[in-house]
């Protein structure tokens, strides 16, 4: 049976390749699309070069994967042991995560100098937050009864952590690790975009700038294939090690009942002050050169000059204007398709594996192709941002729709309610937490996508401002861009989170703890 299945799959793949080849041969746009034979040709001609670059990028991604996930484990354990630190640490982790990688890249480059430091750090930065969130959910995915059970035998928090929480969080950890694998690869590639000597990112940048279609296609597909291999391998390992998948991955932010607006404001200010202090102190502690390692004071001094501020604000407005349509399109398409697929369950069974697999592709590695296809204007940017957000949203919403308990479904069926009524009255409310969780996570993703496209291709916005300032050594502007992006991302994230709380208070109050 397996043999027959395999043959069928091979046949389908072969047919697909032939179709592709034929379509390219017939189309007049040979400049934009490469055929499988072109790609095979390019890969075999440049085999040694590409193999070296792949090993280099994979190695950087691997180290970043290790460091980032280790950091996530340490952070989550700290938050569990010291619950009071959680709110603060989580906000800090979010703020760092919100800085688009393409913005931290040039900064890390000037701090580290030549070498693989920035790539590895970016890979780590790309993974730690998702693993941290998954772990925090996992460590709490413990029923109160299990904790009572431990207490009935006179066992305390430590025994609970070791015997119950650690084991219960294992499937969540593996999901985090699995999503990390392509993310780490993405981080390493972005590190290479921002000024490395070797690696697939460097080759991609060169191919893009030189308008080499075959090279761009080959490198994008190869990067995607490597990232998906990592995703698949960790998924297999997780299934072997754990044997079952976790129930709920994305959850609404925790909020204390006594939280008032002035306390939130106070906490926000405290976090901002801490970030500024950490920034200043790291620079001083390592005695970094003031020429490229700007302090908060330098950025402030730079930005109070109206001319500088206007340049930055104009670029930011451009970037946000490009990001917003893609963000909204990606979210609504993802949620809409999830709802459509649930109405036709057969279709969903066929598409879910694709959606899960495509979620694994670091979309940024295919951004060059999308820009080739859709142009360097608003359309191209919108498509890249939308595609970046679409797949995670689709998968999360499909999982959310399936959260509706079977008994509720039976109840609706017993009244003869149709699929559409069931969708609107039971499934969509059940989906909302997952939808908003992905809407929050999509904020940094959208900014990353838009700045990367700007850096690579469009020549507009903050992305390109950073690219030019890092090459002209205008480090004041570079640091200002990074600070502004982090601020904007955090503010947008907070906005989505506030909207989420307002809506979930009505539809899913039990999810707000």
Could you tell me the smallest distance in angstroms from the CB atom of residue 505 to other proteins?
20
Could you tell me the smallest distance in angstroms from the CB atom of residue 242 to other proteins?
8
Could you tell me the smallest distance in angstroms from the CB atom of residue 411 to other proteins?
19
Could you tell me the smallest distance in angstroms from the CB atom of residue 345 to other proteins?
23
C-beta of 149 vs 328, nearer to other proteins: 149
Among 26, 83, 148, 256, binds other proteins (CB under 8 A): 148
Tell me: does residue 153 bind other proteins (CB under 8 A). yes
Tell me: does residue 107 bind other proteins (CB under 8 A). no
Which of the residues 240 through 299 are near other proteins (CB under 8 A)?
Answer: 242-244
Tell me: does residue 237 bind other proteins (CB under 8 A). no
Q: Are 308 and 476 in contact (CB under 8 A)?
A: yes
Query: DSSP letter string over 180-228?
Result: HHHHHHHHHHHHHHTT-SSSHHHHHHHHHHTT-HHHHHHHHHHHHHHHH
* Piece of the chain touching other proteins by CB under 8 A; list 55-63, 147-155, 252-260, 296-304: 147-155
In the chain, count H helices and then E strands.
22, 0
Could you tell me the smallest distance in angstroms from the CB atom of residue 168 to other proteins?
8
Identify the DSSP state of 293: S
Could you tell me the smallest distance in angstroms from the CB atom of residue 170 to other proteins?
8
Tell me: does residue 151 bind other proteins (CB under 8 A). yes
* Piece of the chain touching other proteins by CB under 8 A; list 23-31, 216-224, 238-246, 259-267: 238-246
Among 24, 149, 288, 356, binds other proteins (CB under 8 A): 149
Tell me: does residue 155 bind other proteins (CB under 8 A). yes
* Piece of the chain touching other proteins by CB under 8 A; list 8-16, 45-53, 152-160, 396-404: 152-160
Tally the residues of the chain. 513
* Piece of the chain touching other proteins by CB under 8 A; list 49-57, 129-137, 239-247, 299-307: 239-247
Residue (of 68, 70, 74, 82) closest to 127 by Cα position: 68
C-beta of 24 vs 166, nearer to other proteins: 166
Q: With DSSP H G I counted as helix, E B as strand and the rest as coil, what are the percentages for the chain, rounded to 5?
A: 85, 0, 15
Total residues binding other proteins (CB under 8 A): 20
Tell me, letter by letter, the H, E, C secondary structure of 55-113: HHHHHHHHHHHHHHHHHHHHHHHHHHHCHHHHHHHHHHHHHHHHCCHHHHHHHHHHHHC
Could you tell me the smallest distance in angstroms from the CB atom of residue 146 to other proteins?
6
Residue given tokens 């597909």 in the structure block: 221
Could you tell me the smallest distance in angstroms from the CB atom of residue 141 to other proteins?
10
Could you tell me the smallest distance in angstroms from the CB atom of residue 145 to other proteins?
4
Find the helix or strand (DSSP H, E) in which 460 lies.
none
Give the contacts of 422 (CB within 8 A, at least 6 positions apart). 409, 412
Q: Provide the CB-side half-sphere exposure for 326 (13 A, CA).
A: 30
Among 146, 267, 332, 357, binds other proteins (CB under 8 A): 146
Could you tell me the smallest distance in angstroms from the CB atom of residue 283 to other proteins?
47
Site string for other proteins, 422-451 (x = CB under 8 A): ------------------------------
Tell me: does residue 135 bind other proteins (CB under 8 A). no
- Alpha carbon distance 186, 126 (integer Å): 8
Q: Are 116 and 142 in contact (CB under 8 A)?
A: no
Among 143, 289, 473, 513, binds other proteins (CB under 8 A): 143
- Alpha carbon distance 176, 461 (integer Å): 32
C-beta of 20 vs 146, nearer to other proteins: 146
Report the b/e string of 23-42 with b at 16+ CB within 10 A: ebeeeeeeeebbbbebbeeb
Tell me: does residue 173 bind other proteins (CB under 8 A). no
The alpha carbon of 428 is separated from its chain's Cα centroid by a whole number of angstroms, namely: 24
Q: Residues interacting with other proteins, by CB under 8 A?
A: 143, 145-146, 148-155, 159, 163-164, 167-168, 170, 242-244
């Amino acid at each position: 049976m397996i043999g027959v299945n395999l043959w069928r799959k091979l046949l389908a793949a072969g047919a697909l390749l032939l179709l592709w080849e034929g379509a390219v041969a017939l189309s007049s746009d040979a400049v934009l699309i490469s055929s499988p034979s072109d790609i095979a040709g390019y890969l075999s001609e440049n085999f040694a070069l590409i193999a070296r670059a792949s090993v280099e990028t994979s190695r950087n991604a691997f180290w970043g994967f290790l460091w980032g996930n280790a950091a996530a484990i340490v952070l989550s354990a700290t938050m569990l042991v010291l619950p009071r630190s959680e709110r603060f640490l989580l906000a800090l982790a979010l703020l760092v995560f919100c800085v688009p990688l393409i913005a931290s890249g040039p900064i890390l480059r000037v701090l580290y100098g030549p070498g693989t430091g920035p790539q590895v750090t970016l890979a780590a930065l790309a993974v730690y937050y998702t693993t941290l969130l998954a772990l925090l959910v996992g460590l709490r995915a413990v029923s109160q009864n299990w904790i009572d059970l431990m207490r009935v035998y006179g066992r305390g928090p430590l025994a609970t952590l070791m015997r119950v929480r650690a084991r219960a969080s294992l499937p969540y950890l593996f999901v985090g690790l699995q999503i990390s694998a392509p993310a780490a690869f993405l981080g390493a590639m972005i590190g290479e975009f921002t000024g490395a000597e070797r690696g697939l990112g460097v080759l991609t940048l060169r191919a893009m700038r030189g308008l080499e279609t075959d090279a761009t296609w080959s490198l994008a597909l190869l990067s995607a294939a490597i990232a998906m291999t990592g995703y698949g391998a960790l998924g297999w390992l997780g299934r072997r090690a754990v044997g079952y998948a976790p129930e709920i991955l994305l959850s609404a932010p925790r909020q204390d009942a006594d939280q008032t607006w002035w306390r939130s404001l106070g906490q926000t200010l405290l976090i901002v002050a801490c970030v500024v202090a950490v920034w200043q102190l790291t620079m001083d502690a390592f005695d970094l050169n003031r020429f490229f390692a700007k302090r908060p004071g330098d950025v402030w001094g730079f930005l109070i000059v109206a001319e500088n501020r206007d340049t930055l604000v104009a670029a930011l407005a451009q970037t946000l204007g490009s990001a917003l349509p893609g963000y909204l399109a990606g979210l609504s398409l993802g949620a809409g398709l999830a709802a459509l697929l649930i109405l036709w369950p057969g279709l969903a069974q066929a598409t879910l594996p694709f959606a899960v697999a495509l979620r694994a592709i670091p979309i940024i590695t295919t951004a060059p192709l999308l820009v080739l296809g859709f142009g360097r204007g608003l359309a191209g940017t919108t498509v890249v941002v939308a595609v970046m957000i679409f797949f995670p949203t689709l998968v999360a919403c499909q999982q959310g729709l399936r959260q509706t308990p079977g008994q509720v479904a039976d109840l609706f069926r017993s009244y003869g309610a149709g699929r559409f009524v069931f969708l609107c009255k039971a499934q969509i409310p059940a989906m909302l937490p997952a939808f908003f969780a992905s809407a929050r996570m999509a904020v940094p993703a959208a900014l990353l996508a838009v700045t990367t496209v700007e850096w690579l291709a469009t020549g507009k916005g903050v992305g390109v401002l950073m690219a030019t300032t890092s090459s002209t050594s205008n480090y004041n502007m570079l640091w200002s861009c990074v600070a502004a992006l982090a601020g904007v991302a955090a503010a947008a994230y907070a906005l989505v989170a506030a909207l989420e709380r307002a809506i979930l208070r009505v539809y899913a109050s039990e999810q707000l703890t």
